[in-house]
């Protein structure tokens, strides 16, 4: 896509305004969603509370499937917030994009690899932190030489590949979906009313499919995050 971005330099760091605003919008939307669904929590749940409880049960199920021994309860909230944030972020650019003066200010934040790499970094750092907390630093390091010592280079390489696959899978799927929607939009405008009418059904179908892909990618990212954490908390 031919998006142009504004950058702001602050304390020697360069910030992409579109990334920052998009992440902020996604976070605010998640807060509004959860706040709206949880305003009237009662013993006899209404429709809104049922939806919230279903989402919580869904993400709790992801954690339980990765850590069936019950040790993963401490990650239930993280999985819930992670899933909702990625799901909303994936959908944001499909329904709302803000461009002013040729510059993009709001889009799907997960269509930028820096954002998905940041999310992957958080999940992987958590996995390392809880491994050190459980086994101690020495026990954590010894896990890289298990089950046999000659696997040490492969185990170290796996850390890098886990980071790439976790982040780039999400980025690739969301970015590709937005590129195709942009191409359909370009085709729709190319020959006036004829191509516009012809492209409309295709755009609607692809947008619906992109919503599905966004949900699947949020599920995959959250599931893999929990799997990586659970593997670090186990000894070979």
The residues, any chain, with a CB within 8 Å of residue 203's CB and separated by 6 or more, are: 181, 184, 185, 188
In a domain, 199, yes or no: yes
Write down the H helix ranges in the chain: 17-37, 47-66, 76-95, 113-142, 152-190, 193-232
For residues 56 and 77, give the distance between their C-alpha atoms in angstroms, rounded to a whole number: 8
Specify whether the backbone of 23 is left (phi greater than 0), alpha (psi in -120 to 50) or beta.
alpha
What per-residue confidence (pLDDT) applies to 198? 67
In a domain, 1, yes or no: no
Least Cα distance to 222 among 58, 39, 92 occurs for 58
What per-residue confidence (pLDDT) applies to 26? 95
Contact 126, 112 (CB under 8 A): no
In a domain, 15, yes or no: yes
Domains held by the chain: number:
1
| Mean pLDDT value of segment 53-64 | 93
Domain range for 135 is: 7-232
Q: How confident is the model at residue 235 (pLDDT cuts 50, 70, 90)?
A: low
Q: How confident is the model at residue 2 (pLDDT cuts 50, 70, 90)?
A: low
Instruction: Tell me the per-residue pLDDT of 184-204, one tens digit each, with 9 for 90 and over.
Output: 777 776 666 767 676 677 777
For residues 231 and 236, give the distance between their C-alpha atoms in angstroms, rounded to a whole number: 9
Specify whether the backbone of 100 is left (phi greater than 0), alpha (psi in -120 to 50) or beta.
beta
Instruction: Tell me the per-residue pLDDT of 68-122, one tens digit each, with 9 for 90 and over.
Output: 887 788 999 999 999 999 999 999 988 887 888 888 888 899 999 999 999 999 9
Q: DSSP labels for 150-195?
A: GGHHHHHHHHHHHHHHHHHHHHHHHHHHHHHHHHHHHHHHHSTHHH
In a domain, 2, yes or no: no
For residues 187 and 221, give the distance between their C-alpha atoms in angstroms, rounded to a whole number: 33
Question: Across the strands, what pairs with 103?
Answer: 4, 100
Instruction: Tell me the per-residue pLDDT of 143-186, one tens digit each, with 9 for 90 and over.
Output: 777 777 777 888 888 888 989 999 999 999 888 887 787 777 77
Least Cα distance to 165 among 96, 223, 91 occurs for 223
Tell me: pLDDT of 1 over 60.
Answer: no
In a domain, 72, yes or no: yes
């Amino acid at each position: 896509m031919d998006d142009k971005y504004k950058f702001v330099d602050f304390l020697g760091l360069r910030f992409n305004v579109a990334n920052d605003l998009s992440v902020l919008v996604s976070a605010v939307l998640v807060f509004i969603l959860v706040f709206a669904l949880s305003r009237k929590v009662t013993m006899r749940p209404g429709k809104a509370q049922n939806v919230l409880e279903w989402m919580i049960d869904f993400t709790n199920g992801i954690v339980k499937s990765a850590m069936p021994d019950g040790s993963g309860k401490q990650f239930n909230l993280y999985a819930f917030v992670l899933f909702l944030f990625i799901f909303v972020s994936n959908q944001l650019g499909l329904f709302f994009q803000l461009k002013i003066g040729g510059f993009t200010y709001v889009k799907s934040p997960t269509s930028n690899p820096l954002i998905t790499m940041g999310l992957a970094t958080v999940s992987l750092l958590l996995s390392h932190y809880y491994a050190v907390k459980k086994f101690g630093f020495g026990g954590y390091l010894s896990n890289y030489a298990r089950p046999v010592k000659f696997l040490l280079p492969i185990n170290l390489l796996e850390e890098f590949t886990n980071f790439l696959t976790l982040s780039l899978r999400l980025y690739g799927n969301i970015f590709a979906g937005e590129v195709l929607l942009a191409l359909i939009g370009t085709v729709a405008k190319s020959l006036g009313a004829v191509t516009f009418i012809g492209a409309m059904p295709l755009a609607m179908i692809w947008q619906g499919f992109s919503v599905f892909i966004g949900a699947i990618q949020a599920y995959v990212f959250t599931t893999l995050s929990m799997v990586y954490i659970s593997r670090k908390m186990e000894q070979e």
